[in-house]
Amino acid sequence: MSKAIMSGDDDHRMKRSSISGPASVAQLRREAGKARALGDAAFGEVDRRQLHEIATALDHEAAVMEAALLAKDRQRPPSSQLLGNRAPSL
């Protein structure tokens, strides 16, 4: 099992360019939970440790993504600036 885990190491990571938003963060958190659950159920200590490392890496990636999304949102001008401080016409 450990070879399968190691060979799939790159497969569990999403490329940052394909990450679009909060839904991707939620997906990473779900995948981390699955990896952690598999680790808890693993019989071998090596497999258990590797799955928990994968879960930790996914959690870290989700945290980085959340921070990037927050920074991106902070850089956007408020909608009132986009409208030139005018109320939208209906």
Task: Indicate if the pLDDT at residue 83 is higher than 70.
Answer: no
Q: Kindly state the greatest CA–CA separation across the chain.
A: 65
Q: What residue spans define the domains of the chain?
A: 21-75
Given a cut of 80, is residue 90 above it in pLDDT? no
pLDDT, tens digit, for every residue of 43-81? 899 999 999 999 999 999 999 999 999 998 888 776 655
Note the pLDDT of residue 84: 58
pTM greater than 0.85: no
Model confidence pLDDT, tens digit, residues 8-52: 444 444 444 455 688 899 999 999 999 999 999 998 999 999 999
Cβ–Cβ under 8 Å, residues 36 and 52: yes
